[in-house]
Structure 1
């Protein structure tokens, strides 16, 4: 499983990115094109499974972009530009199991019984 993290910046209508801990870099005219190029660059280093990615704006001119290759969870829902990697099938066993909803609901009810009920508009 490969995880690639990039710091992205926009200046003068051009987006650029540099890998946080590595040598991968890319530039593009839009944030979307930059993401596509970064996925392709990441796949050139590691093509061991499905691809998922996350783009988070930090300021209007900077962002963090993360590409995760392999790892099993997700099913490749964020494949960009036909960047499907060989072995994109995933298994559900990689995801941790959540406790049944009944247990969560029961815990919440127990906590709320001890607390007095207040309304915001009283």
Structure 2
């Protein structure tokens, strides 16, 4: 069993922000809290999506829902609603403050200089 990361207090703050509640267009989600737990688990462990524990459901389904919420701005609204909550704030950080390694940013690789075949000039 996976330990829950989301307290009842924090869930109360975000449950009305996330899509899929009664009265929203489309399908009503019965598992919004468990889905948020899955995303927090990924954020907390730094694991790839494929390593998501089976208790959370199919990793690809969870990822697709995560991506849809990201595209629709749901995660930004959630982050604003829990600003200052110590237990979750360290997971929902803004990516503009994270410095990536140069290789992850598409920097050109250093290549060895080829020596010129031209004779040296004294």
TM over 0.5: no
User: Which structure has the highest strand share of the two?
Assistant: 1
Q: Which category describes the TM-score, using the shorter chain as reference length?
A: under 0.3
Q: TM-score, normalised by structure 1?
A: 0.26
